[in-house]
Amino acid sequence: MSLTINPRDLATPAIIADPYPAYDALRADSPVAGYADWPPGTVPGQDAPLQAWALLKHEHVLAAARDPQTFSSANFQQGTGAPTLMLVNHDDPEHAGLRKLVSLAFTPRRIRELRPDIEAVVKDLLDALPDGEIDVVAQVCAHLPARLMLRLLGLPPAMSEKFQLWSNAFMLSAAMTAEERNASNVEMVGYFQQTVSERAARLAGGAAPNDDLIDALLIAEADGKRLSHDEVWRFCFTLVVAGSETTMYYATNCLQVLISRPELYAKLQADRSLIGRFQSETLRRTGPPQRLFRKVTKDVEIGGKAIKAGEWVALFFAAANHDPAVFAEPYEFRLDRTNASGQLSFGHGIHYCLGAPLANLEVECLLNAVLDRYASLQPGSSPAVPQTATLLQHSHTSIPARLVKRRSKLEEANIAQVKEVFVRFGSGNVPAILELLDDEVRIEFYGPSVIPYAGDYRSRKEARRFFETVLASVDIHQFDAEEFIAQNDQVIVTGHLRLTAKATGGTIESDFVHVITLRNGRWLRFRDFMNTAVAVAAFTAQAEEVA
């Protein structure tokens, strides 16, 4: 049964959490009138939402993005107190001039040279993670872009938390009162105005420019023109609010795919050349940016609908990315999708996101570091929490997960050796077992003397007696080692066994834990933990029956 959606419901929490079925329901009628929502920087509860036509077909979104003269970006925050974004809120020819100047400072070379900085930030974040369950959003993804922006702009590391708060407030993804949101915007603008003013005064005083983006923007010159101080601080805060928020959710969505799809994790681990395809397909299937507004400058017809000059349209890039007319099986995640790079999550045309290469590089570095360090990403004990505050971005605000560390070569070798001992024990080959034991091996099997093989055995000779006694005392029906946990020279084995005591016919069934310490690849110490009460009962069963 098809879903029935009213366009005014697009901005409601349930649809924000999972908007794609709603896009599917509306796409055939695109463009659809009646959508109402707030642009970034505006203040719900104070500013009125924009009333707009929703463009949901790929051909409609692409055509509008390619025609900035008809579909204007100029200040969609007009009539509000929101600070104007740089480039995002400009049309040509002003946009072209500003972008040329900004590009002199925000160069591909500068972005490429950030790789060591990004890798260092990622390493610091992963090094700080505790063992066990974490929240990948709060403890990793939220910090990466904010910390990198600080390095890029040459600002104090202590500003990281402020950057995150400012971004969440401006991009409407944090629940706030109108007063709180206004205060955040005012604080952010004031900070960047003061910082740029101080930097400009320093340069005017003859100081050499720092090797950071703020100073590079202040000295950039093209065709005899420079950016004004107002334009510099606006570009700085645009980078922070748009770049930090989008990259945080971009990284979040990539990790969420890997947590839910372990086979993809294994593929990327085996072949890192697939990472670029993985990023493109993630951006297509669950790219964070959902839509941007444009104002129509002249009467135009789209999809048989007449849209008049002065009306607003919302370009739903995310809906275009799910258009089955362009992307077959749009809900499927396909690494072999040949046109995934045609996704529109970073826009198209003159407003293609200037920060896209940086966002891609940040996420690439994060993915490589995670793949290097962890054997797998596994779901946490509670479900992920979707972002439901704004349709600007699609992602999660919390993703509990378990990061399973990769074993070192030593740990892999030790596990392999432990498994080999289990194989030889299962075949009853005691001489072959002894070949894998250290000369000073010690075996500790806990329990009372009624268990024939309980005791403390020291030396290889004593170890022979232990294994021979075990095999002489029980028939082995099941001896399954289920998990091997290695840390340096220690291997912990957990599993389940089912044995029969030969002397009594009593059954021993129990989970077990073996703790094995190795030296130079040979068993140095073996400790056995199982339900000794079950073993005692099995070995005393006949005596109790006779009594």
Q: Are residues 252 and 378 in the same domain?
A: yes
Residue 547 pLDDT class (50, 70, 90 cuts): very low
Picking from 20, 3, 11, the residue whose alpha carbon sits closest to that of residue 321 is 20
Mean pLDDT of 496-523: 94
The answer to whether the bond into 400 is cis (omega within 30° of 0) is no
Residue 241 pLDDT class (50, 70, 90 cuts): confident
pLDDT in the model for residue 77: 64
pLDDT in the model for residue 81: 73
Q: Are 367 and 275 in contact (CB under 8 A)?
A: yes
Q: Are 44 and 38 in contact (CB under 8 A)?
A: yes
Both tokens assigned to 98: 């500003």
Both tokens assigned to 166: 């400012």
Query: Whose structure tokens read 């990769």?
Result: 406
pLDDT in the model for residue 87: 81
Q: Are residues 318 and 443 in the same domain?
A: no
Higher pLDDT, 439 or 96: 439
Both tokens assigned to 209: 């420019």
Q: Are residues 472 and 505 in the same domain?
A: yes
In a domain, 224, yes or no: yes
Mean pLDDT of 225-234: 92
CA 122/CA 141 separation, integer angstroms: 10
The answer to whether the bond into 379 is cis (omega within 30° of 0) is no
In a domain, 30, yes or no: yes
The overall longest dimension of the chain from CA atoms, in Å, is 108
* 134 φ/ψ angles, rounded to the nearest 5 degrees: -130, 175
Q: Are residues 286 and 418 in the same domain?
A: no
Query: What's the chain's Rg over C-alpha atoms?
Result: 31
Q: Are residues 468 and 377 in the same domain?
A: no
Give me the CATH number covering residue 480. Answer: 3.10.450.50
pLDDT in the model for residue 76: 67
Residues in a beta bridge with 366: none
In a domain, 398, yes or no: yes
Supply the DSSP string of 441-510, one letter for each residue.
Answer: EEEEE-S-TTSTT-EEEESHHHHHHHHHHHHHHEEEEEEEEEEEEEETTEEEEEEEEEEEETTT--EEEE
Chain Cα centroid distance, residue 271: 19
CA 140/CA 532 separation, integer angstroms: 44
Q: Are residues 387 and 476 in the same domain?
A: no
Chain Cα centroid distance, residue 216: 31
In a domain, 216, yes or no: yes
Q: Of the ranges 35-44, 103-112, 301-310, which one carries the lowest mean pLDDT score?
A: 103-112
CA 159/CA 150 separation, integer angstroms: 7
pLDDT in the model for residue 204: 94
CA 50/CA 307 separation, integer angstroms: 15
Tell the burial category of 376 from Cβ atoms under 10 Å away from its Cβ (0-12, 13-18, 19+).
middle
Q: Are 523 and 437 in contact (CB under 8 A)?
A: yes
Q: Are residues 65 and 183 in the same domain?
A: yes
In a domain, 2, yes or no: no
Alpha helices by DSSP H, 261-316: 262-270, 275-286
Domain count, the chain: 2
Picking from 353, 160, 140, 358, the residue whose alpha carbon sits closest to that of residue 258 is 140
Mean pLDDT of 203-210: 94
Residue 398 pLDDT class (50, 70, 90 cuts): very high
**pTM of this structure:** 0.81
pLDDT at 546 over 50: no
Using alpha carbons only, give the angle 88, 16, 319 rounded to the nearest 5 degrees: 60
pLDDT at 543 over 60: no
In a domain, 1, yes or no: no
Which range of residues forms the domain containing residue 271? 7-405
pLDDT in the model for residue 544: 45
CA 407/CA 523 separation, integer angstroms: 19
- Boundary of a domain, candidates 405, 432, 466: 405
pLDDT digits (tens, 9 = 90+) for 144-196: 999 999 999 999 999 989 998 999 898 998 888 999 999 999 999 999 999 99
pLDDT at 1 over 60: no
Q: Are residues 191 and 59 in the same domain?
A: yes
Q: Are residues 424 and 333 in the same domain?
A: no
- Boundary of a domain, candidates 405, 433, 449: 405
Both tokens assigned to 229: 């101080």
Give me the CATH number covering residue 223. Answer: 1.10.630.10
pLDDT in the model for residue 93: 87
Q: Are residues 449 and 374 in the same domain?
A: no
pLDDT at 75 over 70: no
Chain Cα centroid distance, residue 235: 26
pLDDT in the model for residue 497: 93
Residues in a beta bridge with 393: 289
Contacts of residue 533, Cβ cutoff 8 Å, sequence gap at least 6: none
Contacts of residue 186, Cβ cutoff 8 Å, sequence gap at least 6: none
What percent of the chain has pLDDT above 90? 76
- On average, the pLDDT of the chain sits at 92
pLDDT in the model for residue 545: 42
Q: Are residues 400 and 415 in the same domain?
A: no
Both tokens assigned to 247: 């990259």
- Boundary of a domain, candidates 405, 440, 471: 405
In a domain, 73, yes or no: yes
Picking from 155, 153, 162, 150, the residue whose alpha carbon sits closest to that of residue 124 is 150
Q: Are residues 80 and 174 in the same domain?
A: yes
In a domain, 127, yes or no: yes
Residue 413 pLDDT class (50, 70, 90 cuts): very high
Put the strands of the sheet holding 474-487 in their side by side order.
455-458, 437-445, 522-530, 507-519, 490-501, 474-487
